[in-house]
Amino acid sequence: MKRKLFWNSFLCAMVVLAACLSVTVLAVFDYFSQYNRQRLEEEAAYLGAAVETEGGDFLETVDQDATQQRVTWIDADGTVLYDSEADAASMENHSQREEVAQAWESGSGWSVRYSDTLATKTTYYALLLTDGTVLRVSGTEWTILSMLLDMWPSLLLVVALAVLLSGLLAWRIAETIARPVNEIDLEHPDENGVYPELRPLARRINAQSRQIKRQMELLDQEHQRQDRMRREFTANVSHELKTPLTSISGYAEIIHEGIARPENVKEFSGKIYDEAQRLQSLVGDILELSRVEDLGVGMEKTAVDLYPLCEEVLRRFRPQAERREIVMELKGTHGIVQGSRELLGEVISNLCDNAIKYNRDGGSVVVTVNPLGDRVLLSVADTGIGIPEADQGRVFERFYRVDKSRSKAVGGTGLGLSIVKHAAAAHNAQLQLESQPGQGTEIRLIFPAGETENDDNCERA
């Protein structure tokens, strides 16, 4: 900025200086030209009057050194009668001279002739006298060019001084303008006293930098949150895997060492089997969850009709429901969404599984597929134990369980709803939860018509 200001001011000063110098030189030169012409006129008038009263001999008495002008007297036919600097007899006829011809025509005449080198110019003034003769006075002066050439050492000095002064001034100007700008305190934009006009800009920069800082903090927080979640997940996974493994290894050791009584062997091996089953479903859910998380937007989507898919899932769950006299019902009609058939099947399975697991004996499960305008609703509602208000926002977290022992007793892993949440996100579906403790729970997924962006896909109704 400073450099630019310097060059701009410097160039400005140079242009002004050049313009001023040129105008001054021209004005001075014009003044001297006018002055010389006036002198020639006065001289001619005076000499003309003298010649008319006293005759041509008067010219011989004029001191040419004093006037420094050349005087020529020309007869009415052009013959030179007198010349102050040359022999009149040897001079050619002057009737063709421009100024002389003009004088015969209009009483007086001017002409200017330059020397071969253009260094000097001679101005001629011719005056017609009453007897028809012409008196001509001429003076030689410098041209602008010769004047400049003659003055070049002093001109060079003036220009050098001007350049130096302009440079110094331009540097000071640049410094004076730029320093307060560079020193603006963006943290306190209103305390900038030198340029009040810059306050709005400083305020804007300040607001923007605060916004960037806030966003950086948010990003950092999000980063830390994700980091914490990853650590928690690893700790949770280890813990969840360790519990059944400890049981399995404990019972297996008792049997292996032959410590177990023969009548207990069946019970213990049954426990090993149950825990191994639990391990299997845990590992299966963990793998499924990481697969769903990785799928994201890159998932290959096809048109999937949710209605027959629900029919298929319900058929699989019916025996499990019937064991507890739970009635399962499918309502609604065909609803086609863009997505992964396998993942959608997993979502419906997890929701139905929960609706049975956390239901009361003799309760019911209603699955609904309904096109809502250009969107499609999938809902799984049960008449079970419900989810307390305080837990409703957390049940979609990994390993979060409202009642850990109950979940464990019914074979839950705490990952089912996490898989549902991630699958909903991968399908840009809106996720809603409505639950009344002791009355039942309804989980709804609303799928978009086509490809739409939907970041906040999880919301509580």
Ramachandran quadrant class, 256 (left: phi over 0; alpha: psi -120 to 50; beta: rest)? alpha
354 is an interface residue for ligand ADP by CB under 6 A: yes
CB of 371 to ligand ADP, least distance (A): 24
CB of 363 to ligand ADP, least distance (A): 10
Least distance CB 236 / ligand ADP (angstroms): 12
| Residue 355 is a binding residue for ligand ADP (CB under 6 A) | yes
Residue from 73, 416, 422, 445 that binds ligand ADP (CB under 6 A)? 416
Provide the token pair at 317.
């769950």
Binding mask 365-404 for ligand ADP (x = CB under 6 A): -----------------x-xxxx-------x----xxxx-
What the block records as the tokens of 15 is 């242009």
Instruction: Report the distance separating Cα 124 and Cα 70, nearest Å.
Output: 9
Instruction: Name the residue nearer to ligand ADP (CB basis): 369 or 385.
Output: 385
The amino acid sitting at 51 is V
Least distance CB 313 / ligand ADP (angstroms): 15
Nearer to ligand ADP, 137 or 395 (CB): 395
Using CB under 6 A as the binding rule, whether residue 364 contacts ligand ADP is answered as: no
How far, in Å, are 11, 206, 273, 375 from residue 335 at the CA level? 76, 52, 40, 9
The yes or no reply on residue 326 touching ligand ADP (CB under 6 A) is no
Contacts of 417 (CB under 8 A, 6+ apart): 350, 354, 395, 396
Q: Does 414 bind ligand ADP (CB under 6 A)?
A: yes
CB of 199 to ligand ADP, least distance (A): 55
Alpha helices in 111-198 (DSSP H): 144-182
Is there binding between residue 441 and ligand ADP (CB under 6 A)?
Answer: yes
- For residue 153, what are the β-bridge partners? none
- Residue 202 · residue 192 · CB < 8 Å: yes
3-state secondary structure of 53: helix
State the Cα angle at 32 between 29 and 33, rounded to 5°: 85
- By CB under 6 A, the residues from 45 to 104 that bind ligand ADP are none
Nearest residue (CB) to ligand ADP, 71 versus 417: 417
Between CA 307 and CA 312 the distance in angstroms is 9
| Closest distance of CB 273 from ligand ADP, Å | 19
Three-state DSSP class for 336? strand
Per CB under 6 A, residues contacting ligand ADP are: 350, 354-355, 358, 382, 384-387, 395, 400-403, 407, 412-418, 441
